[in-house]
Each structure stands twice: as structure tokens, then as C-alpha cells.
Amino acid sequence: MANPIIELSNVRKSFALPSGETVNVLDIERFAIAEGEHSVLEGQSGSGKSTLLNVISGIMRADAGRVVVDSIDLTRLSEAQRDRVRADKLGLVFQQFNLLPGFTALENVLVAMTFGSGRLDRDRGVQLLKAVGLSDRLHHKPAALSVGQQQRVAVARALANRPRVILADEPTASIDASHQQQVIDLLRNTCSEQGIALLVVTHAVEVATQFPSRRRLESFNRAALATEK
Amino acid sequence: MTLLGIAWRNIRHRMLTSVLTALSLALGVALVVATLVTGGIVQKAFESGSGLGYNMIVGAKGSPLQLVLNSVYFISRPIENIPWSTYQNFLPAAQRVDGVDGTFAASTKTAVPICMGDYFRGFRVVGTNAAMFGQLSRGDGQAFQFSKGVNFRDADFFGGVLGAAVASKTGLKVGDPFAPTHGSHDGKVHDPFTVVGILAQTNTPIDRGVFVNMEGFYLQEGHAKPVPGEVPNDSRHTQDSRISQDSRNSQDSQREPASHTLPAGAAPASAQPLPFEQREVTAILLETASLPGLPSELTGMGLRMAINEGRDAQAALPIGEIRQLLDLFVRPLELLLLLVTALVVVVSAMGILVSMVGSSLERSRDVAIMRALGARRSHVLATVLIEAVLLAVGGGLAGWALGHLFVGAVAPWIATNAGVSASIFSTSPAAEALLVPFLVGLAIAAALLPAVAAYRTDVAKWLQGPG
């Protein structure tokens, strides 16, 4: 494998239930994504896909093991430092798009730049939106955009800080079939052009089959395997 | 995009809630500003009155405060009248019929009698002599100025001078006749006086006074003190001893009254001055002198004690009485009013808290999104606090402007009733300067709860999708 841009080793993550019981969600010996790799992660509902993305993005801290993003070990960082790594190295695309409703398309992109290390570059924000075909929707708020347009804004926002990896959590789950392909094409083409690694979490077979690298979470997450047994 | 920009967009996104929150704060602040400014105006009204060109008032025994309120501010009612002979006690030999110095003449620099009880269109009519504006100063050491016409002469029995507010309100001009009413606003209409002068604005109660020659005042029906055994004629008598008096300042007017000529068109053509024995005065405005070898304060103190030991009159110090009034009533009342209005502001500030807590569900999702984009907890905490501060500053400034607009709107009423010029620009600088920082502090305190909630937002929970 080429140089990994994401590398997890011996990562464990568990949650305490209100009853006091502990539930193991992740127990991964090794998981890696190479620089520029486009990969899809499949898994059943409740298999820990979202938790894995949260651990990789530093939103959650692993209980044990190492989580390295672009050679930075997140497990050694404070929460604020992880926030900074997330802003600079990662682009997130969500199932519900999660655009800020009070902000225009352009402002949603600029907000992401606000928290990164780079300068606030309005021109780049405009260029990103133009690249996803929204040059005539710069000043529209999410409510005035179609579902497909909203997801395109989300992709443009994920690219705002020139990330090394884009993590897309069910990016096509909320859009109709006619737009699903557009979004996948947009993600893959954009990431290819800019040499960005792409990890798409999905349970949609028609999406998964388009990726050369397909991983099934249950196959390497020992916590999921234990649950299945 | 700065955190300020993000906070501003959040406010715009929740426009209706934000506007209502800011409006409730604005109304509270407007109330505080109006209270502060009008409180300052009331205080200024009293303090300006205590700075007139005299330092002692002599009047009938009773409440010294009532004497001051009536004589200086033209509010409250006269206590009673004092004998003409009491007034003469302050006159030097040259101004007395008997050619002997009055008992208190040596301690007196100027003594101006005033007679009250009549009204003109709601304003107090004050019978006095020409010394009122010829010898007393405005209190700042400056002589009274006339914007139109001149002071009345003691020889013009039916001449009168109007305060600036009276002239403005009534529209009377020099040369116009005006007829006071007896005892009340709707009392019997007296013979007319003629306006000979209009005073320049002084920002004191003088602006609200109608000043007439006391010789003419005495000649009005009901203004002469009945003398036992004498049958009053139909133009000079009455039982109302509260309403009348006389004086004159010039030498000839202090001697036995002589015939005077009335101005054309005013009252009877051959009026004779009222005999001294039929005269009383409501009060005497005194500017005390220094006795040889004694500081003026000691002279004044001795004079006051001597007067108060007598049976006929009391001496009151306007400044002392006004200070006492301010300390006992005005300031506590102002403080109470301020406390109430401060509570209104606190309640309004709670509106910020309610508004922010109310939108916390929506905010939690936004906060989670921002955190996912790399915002630190401190960023979201700051954003919420900035939002609260923006609402507080916006509401505060709007309320500040609204408060001044209110004061501007009631300024004519204040000017008419308090004799103090108030305007939209009237300020209470020290208190107003503290208002916005106080509000910002209050808003931050109110926003702490939602800010901490935002700080602690569980990002994963709010962004969680299936899986």
C-alpha cells in the first residue's frame, strides 16, 4: 500500500449504557486508507460505521490504540488540537448535508474556512461553488436550494480547506436515485482531480460497486464480529 | 468569516425572535434613560432655583419648605401673609416713612417683597416691585435680561413682565393686556395689566412666572387687608388675606404712597396707591449683607435667628431647604424609580436568556455542524456570547435613543411645568455611560447558560446518521 493517509491500529471504542453496561463498538487491529485512495466502507446498521468516522475525524477519542491522520496521531492531541486537524486535513460530507440554514451557499463554504489554518479566501469559495455547478446559487440559502444542490454545497464546503481526505457518511441516502450518481461522480471526480483520498460510508450496493476498494466493517471490526456471534 | 459575522448571521436567521428580544430590552432601557434624564432634570430644576440671587426668604410662620416651594418654585400654596411692617424692618431709613433704619436694615443688602395668590392661564402671578429684576441677579451673578421690552417701573401700577415660558405659551407680546384671575384659575377676573417686558430664558422657575407691579396688584378687588372700622369700597377689599401685598423698591415708592399715573388703557385713570395699613406681603426675598467685622455667613445666621425668635415671621434658607427636600424625598424616590426600572432591564435581559434557551435545539444542530467543520468549543462559546452582546448593544442603543426621544417629546411639558429646558439632547452622562457596559455584562451573564450548553453540545449525537 502507498503511504497511508489514515491509519488505525489496535483501536478500541466502547460506550457505557445508562444501565451501567459497557458496549464495545470498535475493536480494530488495523485499518488504513492510502493517499489518494477512493474506498467505500460498508456495514450493517449499528455496525459502528459512524463511530469509526467520528474517531477518524477526532470528534470522538478512541479508548485505546492509535489514530493517525496525515502522520498526526490524534490520540495524543487535546480536543482543540484534534479540532484543528479536522478543520485542516479532513472534509466531512453528511447524509443530511448539514448546511447551516441561516447562511448562504457561499457563507457555508466560508464558515468552514473560518476554522481552518488557511486564510479566508472568498474567491476560492466562489470557485469551489462554480466547480460544483452552483455559480448562480452563491447567495441562496439552503432552503432555496434543491436537495441535489444542497449536497453539492456540502461537497464544496468539504473541499474548502484543501483537505487530504474526505469522509462521506451516507452521502446519497437522502437524495433520489437520479441525483445519487451525480453526487458520487462529483465526489470521485473532485477528489481525483485534487489527489484527495475519499472514504465513503454507505449501505447502498449500487454506490459501493462503483468503488475499486470495498471494505466491510464487520470483516475487520472485532467488536462487530463479537456481536454477530 | 469572523465569529462576529457568524453571530450576526445567527441573529438574522432568527430575526423575529432576535427583534422581539432586542425590543423588550430596548423598552427597558428607554425607561431607565427617561428616568435618569428626567430625574436629572428635576434635580436641576430644584438646584437652579436654589441658586437665585437671594439667600434667605422671610414669610409667615409654618413650614419653611412650603415657604421655599411657594416663593422660589411657584408651587404649593402660600402659608399666610406677613404684615407690611415686617417688610419695612428690612428697609434703610431712606426708604421708610419714619426716616429711621429698620431693625434688620444693617444686615440687608436687598429686600424684595412678593405677593401671591392670583393666576393667569395657569401661571402664578407675582406682585413685586422693580427691584425684583433691577437689583436681584439670576443667581449666576448675571443681571436679568429682557428678550423684549423692559422691566416695569414702580410708577407704572399696571405694568407687568412675563417669564420666557409664559410668553412662549400664551403668545403675549409687549403691549398686550392680560387680566389675572383671583385666587384660582377660574376665579374672578381682575383689571388688566399691560406687558412691558419679556424676560430672556433663565432655565429657572422665573420662566414660569407672571410678574406685575404690586401697586396695581394691591388695587385689585379682594387684595386689600380690611382695616377695622373702615368700610371697604368696591375696588379694594376682601377677606382673603392670603392674596395680597405690596412693596416698592425705589425710594419714592417706599414712602407714603402718592398718586401715580397709570399707563394708557390700563385700569382706572386716577388710581391711588393702597394705604400701608391695608397692605400685607406673602414673602420677602432677602439678599443679606455683611455686618462690619463679621463674615456674611454669620450675619445671615444672626439675622435668621433674630427673625425666627419673633412672632410674626420665619426666615428660611432656600439652599438648605432644597437640599433637605432632595435628600429626603427626591433622591430616595429617584433611587426607587431607578431600582424598578433596573428590574425591568434585568427582566428584559432575561428575555435574552429565554430567547437563546428557546432556540437551543436549533442551535445545537448548528453548533454540531460548526464543530464538525473544525470549530473549537471556545469558538461556539464565543459565538453565543457575541450573539447575546450584539442583542444587548442593539437593544440598548435603540432603547437609549427611544428614551431620549421620549424626553424630547415631553420636553415642552417639562419646560412649562418645571421651568427647565429639556430636550432630546438632555443627558445624565455618568449614568448613561454606565448603561451599555452594564447591559453587556448582564447579557453575558444571561447568555452563559445557553453558551455553556452550546459548549457542551454532543457533536456525534447531533450529526449521527444511521449506522
Instruction: For residues B103-126, give the mean pLDDT.
Output: 92
CA angle A81, A82, A86 (to 5 degrees): 120
Instruction: For residues B366-384, give the mean pLDDT.
Output: 88
Find, in chain B, the residue whose alpha carbon is nearest to that of A224.
Answer: B467
Alpha helices, DSSP H, located in B257-376 = 296-309, 318-325, 331-358, 360-372
SS3 A51: helix
Question: Which residues in chain A have Cβ-Cβ distances shorter than 8 Å to B366?
Answer: 100-102
Cα–Cα distance for residue pair A63/A95, rounded to 1 Å: 26
CB B263 within 8 Å of CB B159: yes
Tell me the CA distances in angstroms from B144 to A10, B57, B135, B136, B161, one per residue in order.
96, 19, 9, 8, 12
CB B370 within 8 Å of CB B379: yes
pLDDT band at B47 (very low <50, low <70, confident <90, very high): low
Q: Hey, are the CB atoms on B9 and A107 less than 8 Å from each other?
A: yes
Cα–Cα distance for residue pair B243/B124, rounded to 1 Å: 12
Distance from CA of A179 to the nearest CA of B (A): 19
Asked if the C-beta of B378 comes within 8 angstroms of chain A's C-beta atoms, the answer is: yes
Predicted ipTM of the assembly: 0.88
Question: Which residues in chain B have Cβ-Cβ distances shorter than 8 Å to A113?
Answer: 1
Asked if the C-beta of B366 comes within 8 angstroms of chain A's C-beta atoms, the answer is: yes
Instruction: For residues B287-314, give the mean pLDDT.
Output: 85
- Which residues in A have their CB inside 8 Å of a CB on B? 43, 45-51, 54, 57, 59-60, 79-80, 83-84, 86-88, 92, 94-96, 98-103, 107, 110-116, 120, 157, 161, 169-170, 173, 201, 203
DSSP state of B273: P
Cα–Cα distance for residue pair B139/B202, rounded to 1 Å: 10
pLDDT at residue A212 is higher than 80: yes
Residue B456 cell numbers, joined: 457542551
Q: Which residues contact B245 (CB under 8 A, 6 or more apart)?
A: B81, B84, B113, B114, B115, B127, B214, B217, B218, B279, B280, B281, B282
Question: Which residues in chain A have Cβ-Cβ distances shorter than 8 Å to B373?
Answer: 86-87, 92, 111-112, 115, 157
| Closest CB to B373 among A50, A60, A112 | A112
Cα–Cα distance for residue pair B6/B10, rounded to 1 Å: 6
Q: Hey, are the CB atoms on B464 and A92 less than 8 Å from each other?
A: no
Q: Would you call A210 exposed, middle or buried from its count of C-beta atoms within 10 A (0-12, 13-18, 19+)?
A: middle
Q: What is the pLDDT of residue B415?
A: 64
- Residue with grid cell 455496525, as numbered in its chain: A47
CB B446 within 8 Å of CB B391: no
pLDDT at residue B239 is higher than 50: no
Q: Note the residue count of chain A.
A: 229
Alpha helices, DSSP H, located in B143-203 = 164-170
Q: Which residues contact B171 (CB under 8 A, 6 or more apart)?
A: none
Alpha helices, DSSP H, located in A10-121 = 49-56, 79-89, 105-114
Torsions phi, psi of B397, nearest 5? -65, -40
Poorest-pLDDT segment among A81-95, B259-273, B411-425? B259-273
CB A168 within 8 Å of CB A185: no
- Residue with grid cell 449500487, as numbered in its chain: A206
The C-alpha R_g of chain B, in whole angstroms, comes to: 32
Alpha helices, DSSP H, located in B50-97 = 64-73, 84-88
Which DSSP helix (H) or strand (E) runs through B6?
helix B3-13
Q: What is the pLDDT of residue B418?
A: 58
Instruction: For residues B83-108, give the mean pLDDT.
Output: 90
Question: Which residues in chain A have Cβ-Cβ distances shorter than 8 Å to B369?
Answer: 98-100
Count of CB atoms situated within 10 Å of the CB of B369: 26
Question: Which residues in chain B have Cβ-Cβ distances shorter than 8 Å to A163?
Answer: none
Which residue pairs, CB below 8 angstroms and at least 24 apart, start in A130-133?
A131/A156, A131/A190, A132/A156, A132/A186, A132/A190
Distance from CA of B402 to the nearest CA of A (A): 30
Q: Hey, are the CB atoms on B374 and A102 less than 8 Å from each other?
A: no
User: Nearest Cα to A200, choosing from A211, A192, A185?
Assistant: A211
Q: Starting at the edge strand that comes first in sequence, how are the strands of the sheet with A64-69 ordered? A: A22-34, A4-16, A64-69, A72-73
Q: What is the pLDDT of residue B229?
A: 61
Strands A90-93, A165-169: pairing is parallel
Tens of pLDDT, residues B70-92? 888 888 788 889 999 999 999 99
Question: Which residues in chain A have Cβ-Cβ distances shorter than 8 Å to B378?
Answer: 80
More confident residue, B168 or B253: B168
Q: Hey, are the CB atoms on A115 and B12 less than 8 Å from each other?
A: no
Cα–Cα distance for residue pair B316/B307, rounded to 1 Å: 10
pTM of full prediction above 0.80: no
Find, in chain A, the residue whose alpha carbon is nearest to that of B363.
Answer: A100
Asked if the C-beta of B9 comes within 8 angstroms of chain A's C-beta atoms, the answer is: yes
Q: What is the pLDDT of residue B140?
A: 66
Find, in chain B, the residue whose alpha carbon is nearest to that of A203.
Answer: B467
CB A81 within 8 Å of CB A92: no
Asked if the C-beta of B458 comes within 8 angstroms of chain A's C-beta atoms, the answer is: no
One-letter amino acid identity for B2?
A: T
Distance from CA of B5 to the nearest CA of A (A): 9
Find, in chain B, the residue whose alpha carbon is nearest to that of A46.
Answer: B467
pLDDT at residue B331 is higher than 60: yes
Tens of pLDDT, residues B389-409? 898 889 889 998 999 999 888
- Residue with grid cell 460497486, as numbered in its chain: A209
Q: Hey, are the CB atoms on A111 and B6 less than 8 Å from each other?
A: yes
User: Nearest Cα to A55, choosing from A100, A107, A11, A108?
Assistant: A11
CB B368 within 8 Å of CB B462: yes
